[in-house]
Amino acid sequence: MPKHVGLDLGTSNTRMFIKGKGIILRSPTVVTVDKNKDVVVALGSDAKKMIGKTPSNMEAYRPIRNGVVADFEVTALMLHEFFLRTEALSLFNRPVVLVSTPENCTEVEKLAVENAIFAAGAKAVGMVGSSMAAAVGAGLKVNSPRGCMIVDIGGGMTQVAVISSGGIVRSRAVKLAGEKLDAAIINNLRMKKDLYVGEMTAELLKVRLGTALPETNRGLLDVSGRNEKLKCAQTVRVGSEDIYNAIHIALEAICRTITSVLESTPPELASDISDFGIMLVGGGANINGIAELINKKTGLRVTTAKNPMDCECIGIARLIEKPSIIPGGILYKNR
C-alpha cells in the first residue's frame, strides 16, 4: 500500500505528514548541493547553518520562493531526500502526496510544484489551496455559510482570505513576510549602524527582539558582523527599538492588505467577520504584538491559532483523512 503524505512546502520551512504517523518532519527548506556532482551534501538544519559559508564547489539553496518552486532540480533533489529519510519512498512503494499551494499562483507554478514532487518519486499528487488548508488546520468551519477570515504570515508571502461555504470568497497575497522582515533588518543595521549582518543573524534578531509595538522593550543583544566603513569585524549592541524601526513599515503594509480585503468583502460576510474576528496563522503570527497591531488597524478581534506554524500541515492531514471537508474533495493526478 502506498503511503499517504501531506506536504506543506513553505519558503522557510517544510513540514511533512504521513497518514498513521502524524507530522514526522519539520525542517528548514534549505539544501546544500555539490555543484560538480549534483548530489545533496546537507539538508534542512544542517544546510541552513551553511548559508553564506560554503566553498566554491557547493551552494546552499532556498529552492522555494513565495510558496512556489524557484529551482526545479534542487527542489526535486530535496524532496527525494525527505521522502527517503521519512521512509515515505521505498523500492516497492511510491507515496501519494497532497501538497498545498498559494491560491494566487499560476497554472505554470502549480505544474512546477507537481512535476518536482513526481520527480522526487511520488506516485500521485493532489493540490489544495494554502489558505483553505490553514483554515481547516486552525479549526475554522470552512463549510459553513458563516464567513471567516484567515491571515497567514509565512516565510515568503502573506495570504489573506475570506472563506464561506467551502470556498474562497475574497483573497489577496503580498510578498511581505518573514524573509522581507529579515531583509529590512539587514538594510536598517547597514544604514543606521554601518553593520552588515547575514540572514541567519537577521532572523535571530527578529525572533529575539522583534516587536510590532513601539512601546514594547524586549531587551538588548550583542550582534557581530562586518563594519561597512572600516571593512572589519565588529560587534554592536542592538535593541528591540532598532528592530521595530526596521520592520514596522512592512508590518503596517500587511495590515493595509488585510484592510483592503475587508473593504471588498460582501456586507453579510463582513458582518460575520466583525462578530467572530480574524484567525492568525503562520510563522509571522509569533511576532511579538502582531495580533494587537492588526486589532488596532482593523478594530476586529484577532485570535492566534494554537499551533500557528503547523496549521497548514494539520489542515492537509485532515483533508487526507476526510477529503469531503471541502466541496468536490481532492483530485489526484497519477504518473
Is 72's pLDDT higher than 80? yes
Q: What mean pLDDT value characterizes the chain?
A: 93
Q: How confident is the model at residue 56 (pLDDT cuts 50, 70, 90)?
A: confident
Residues 51 and 123 in one domain: yes
Please give the backbone phi and psi of residue 331, each rounded to the nearest 5 degrees, phi first: -100, 125
Residue 228's pLDDT band (boundaries 50, 70, 90)? confident
Q: Is 158 exposed, middle or buried (0-12, 13-18, 19+ CB in 10 A)?
A: buried
Q: Are residues 290 and 158 in the same domain?
A: yes
pTM recorded for the entire structure: 0.92
Are 316 and 295 part of one and the same domain?
A: no
Are residues 299 and 151 part of one domain?
Answer: yes
| pLDDT of res. 61 | 83
Residue 201 pairs in a beta bridge with none
Sheet with 232-239: strands ordered across: 195-196, 220-227, 232-239
pLDDT for 335 equals: 85
Query: pLDDT tens-digit profile of 170-199?
Result: 999 999 999 999 999 999 999 999 999 998
pLDDT at residue 190, rounded to an integer = 95
Q: Dihedral angle at the C-alpha atoms of 154, 309, 277, 208, nearest 10 degrees?
A: -80
Contacts of 265 (CB under 8 A, 6+ apart): 147, 149, 162, 169, 170, 273
| pLDDT confidence tier of residue 33, bands split at 50, 70 and 90 | confident
Are 105 and 152 contained in the same domain? no
User: Which range is least confidently modeled, 152-161, 217-226, 228-237, 238-247?
Assistant: 228-237
How many domains does one find in the chain? Answer: 2
The answer, yes or no, to whether residue 91 has pLDDT greater than 80, is yes
Looking at the fold, whether 123 and 272 belong to one and the same domain comes out as no
Are 176 and 158 in contact by the 8 Å Cβ rule? The answer is yes
pLDDT for 274 equals 94
Residue with cell 482593523: 298
Task: Kindly state whether residues 300 and 155 are assigned to the same domain.
Answer: yes
Angle between helices 240-263 and 199-209 (to 10 degrees): 80
**153 and 298 share a domain?**
yes
Per-position DSSP letters for 292-310, written without gaps between them:
HHHHHHH-S-EEE-SSTTT
Single-letter residue type at 130? S
pLDDT, residue 54, reads: 85
Shared domain check, 230 and 81: no
pLDDT digits (tens, 9 = 90+) for 243-257: 999 999 999 999 999
Answer yes or no: do 119 and 232 share one domain: no
CATH number at residue 25: 3.30.420.40
Q: pLDDT exceeding 90 applies to what percent of the chain?
A: 82
- 128 is in which domain, residue-wise? 4-132+312-334
Q: Are residues 197 and 245 in the same domain?
A: yes
Q: How far apart are CA 4 and CA 115, in angstroms?
A: 18
pLDDT band at 112 (very low <50, low <70, confident <90, very high): very high
> Residue 34: its pLDDT value, please?
87
Same domain, yes or no, for 88 and 146?
A: no
